[in-house]
């Protein structure tokens, strides 16, 4: 983990310099205590991570501020290779001192080290806690690695690191086919991603769609893909988001990973919040992998739960009459 390796790297380096220090995409539970807090700028696309680090007293933002030069930067590698390369390229372009790269072996620490050695001088790596940390000089030209939102051949905008960046997610496509031809009122798309579900919902005669997404880059892509004036965009945690008024329908394909292991508690939290924000006669439309145990959460939050025709991989659910929670 970063907290295990970073102190060793700082000890091996000469200094961090005197200016601000950027930390790009740290895990939400990352230990940054080895760094001077008053100089650290945490960059994360996740609203939950930004909120946590802000509460701890760090300066935060979803992207690198374009007008800032950094004395040093630390990039925490992500599993998506193109995203990790884009992060390193962005940090290199705005860093005057050392650019430190940290990651688990499962997140591509070795392959990034190999790629960087083909481009520039790299320090000897420090290995600890199933990962590696190493550094290069800021200012190294890696601009060909830079990536942002881009138009996909399928006609939609995505970006590296965004869920289903290479094409339409088959579960979402299945849910679109199951939605009724007539939908009215206000709809919330919880975990909206790059906007595939909302784009289809807006072909119906509804008043408003709220796209709620915790990943800033995904929401940026959604703004490209969903240009209808009835769409409202919210960079927010879908498990706690509250609409201006209760909604008539919720649609969702909830995530079930925070790490490499499945975590059904995320989907359960989506279901609980869907029930909370729906009108008494509202309905939830949801798709999920067949193996995920959401039945108890659905039964405890809704008076009527109907499983629709899914397929071998995914189950489709319509849940109605949300149960009122006692205060």
Q: Which residue stretches of the chain have pLDDT < 50?
A: none
pLDDT given for residue 257 in this prediction: 61
Q: Report if residue 327 sits inside a domain.
A: no
pLDDT given for residue 264 in this prediction: 86
Range of the domain at 106: 2-145
Could you tell me if 182 and 314 lie in one domain? yes
pLDDT given for residue 310 in this prediction: 86
E-state strands within the chain: 21-24, 40-43, 59-61, 72-76, 98-104, 126-128, 131-137, 150-151, 157-158, 186-190, 208-213, 231-235, 247-252, 278-289, 302-308, 314-322
Could you tell me if 95 and 172 lie in one domain? no
- Direct distance between the N- and C-terminal alpha carbons of the chain, in angstroms, rounded to an integer: 40
In the block, tokens 């790299």 appear at: 122
Tell which residue, 275, 256, 264, 261, has the closest CA to residue 323.
275
pTM of this prediction? 0.93
Q: What are the CA-CA distances from residue 50 to residues 41, 58, 213 (Å)?
A: 10, 9, 14
DSSP state of 262: B
Q: Report if residue 206 sits inside a domain.
A: yes
> 255 with 271: CB under 8 angstroms?
no
Could you tell me if 175 and 97 lie in one domain? no
Q: Report if residue 111 sits inside a domain.
A: yes
Q: Report if residue 278 sits inside a domain.
A: yes
Could you tell me if 299 and 155 lie in one domain? yes
Please provide the DSSP assignment of 8-76 as one string. HHHHHSS---SS-EEEES--TT---TTS-GGGEEEE-SBHHHHHHHHHTT-EEESS--TT--BSEEEEE
What does the block give as tokens for 132?
């590696």
Number of domains in the chain: 2
Could you tell me if 93 and 174 lie in one domain? no
pLDDT given for residue 153 in this prediction: 82
> 1 with 107: CB under 8 angstroms?
no
How many whole angstroms separate alpha carbon 50 and alpha carbon 72? Answer: 20
Q: Report if residue 65 sits inside a domain.
A: yes
Could you tell me if 39 and 185 lie in one domain? no
pLDDT given for residue 325 in this prediction: 67
How many whole angstroms separate alpha carbon 21 and alpha carbon 74? Answer: 8
Could you tell me if 262 and 224 lie in one domain? yes
Could you tell me if 305 and 193 lie in one domain? yes
Could you tell me if 253 and 160 lie in one domain? yes
In the block, tokens 């929401």 appear at: 219
Last residue of a domain, one of 108, 127, 145: 145
Could you tell me if 120 and 162 lie in one domain? no
Residue 42: φ, ψ to 5° = -85, 130
Could you tell me if 298 and 189 lie in one domain? yes
Could you tell me if 189 and 276 lie in one domain? yes
Q: What are the CA-CA distances from residue 211 to residues 202, 227, 233 (Å)?
A: 11, 12, 5
What does the block give as tokens for 302?
């809704």
Query: What CATH number corresponds to the domain at position 267?
Result: 3.40.50.150
Last residue of a domain, one of 145, 170, 201: 145
Last residue of a domain, one of 145, 178, 202: 145
Q: What are the CA-CA distances from residue 185 to residues 155, 180, 231, 279, 319 (Å)?
A: 28, 14, 13, 11, 17
Q: Supply the Cα-derived Rg of the chain in whole angstroms.
A: 22
How many whole angstroms separate alpha carbon 61 and alpha carbon 235? Answer: 12
């Amino acid at each position: 983990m970063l907290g295990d390796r970073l102190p060793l790297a700082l000890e091996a380096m000469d200094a961090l310099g005197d200016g601000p220090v950027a930390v790009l995409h740290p895990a939400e539970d990352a230990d940054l205590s080895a760094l001077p807090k008053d100089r650290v700028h945490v960059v994360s696309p996740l609203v939950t991570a930004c909120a946590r680090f802000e509460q701890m007293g760090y300066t935060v933002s979803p992207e690198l501020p374009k007008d800032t030069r950094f004395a040093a930067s630390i990039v925490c590698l992500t599993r998506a290779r193109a995203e990790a390369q884009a992060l390193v390229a962005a940090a290199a372009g705005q860093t005057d001192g050392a650019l430190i790269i940290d990651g688990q072996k499962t997140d591509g620490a070795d392959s990034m080290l190999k790629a960087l050695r083909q481009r520039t001088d790299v320090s000897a790596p420090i290995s600890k806690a199933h990962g590696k940390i190493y550094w290069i000089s800021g200012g190294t030209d890696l601009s060909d690695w830079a990536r942002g939102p881009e138009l996909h051949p399928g006609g939609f905008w995505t970006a590296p690191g965004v869920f289903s960046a290479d094409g339409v997610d088959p579960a979402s496509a299945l849910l679109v086919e199951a939605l009724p031809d007539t939908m009215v009122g206000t709809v919330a798309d919880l975990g909206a991603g790059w906007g595939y579900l909302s784009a289809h919902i807006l072909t119906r005669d509804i008043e408003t769609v709220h796209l709620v997404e915790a990943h800033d880059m995904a929401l940026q892509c959604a703004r490209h893909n969903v240009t209808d004036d009835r769409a409202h965009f919210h960079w927010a945690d879908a498990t706690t988001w509250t609409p201006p008024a209760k909604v008539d329908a919720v649609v969702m394909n909830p995530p079930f990973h925070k790490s490499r292991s499945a975590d059904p508690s995320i989907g359960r939290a989506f279901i609980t919040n869907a029930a909370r924000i729906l009108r008494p006669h509202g309905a939830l439309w949801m798709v999920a992998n067949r193996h995920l145990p959401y039945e108890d959460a659905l039964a405890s939050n809704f008076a009527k739960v109907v499983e629709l025709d899914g397929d071998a991989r995914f189950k489709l659910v319509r849940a109605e009459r949300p149960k009122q929670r006692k205060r």
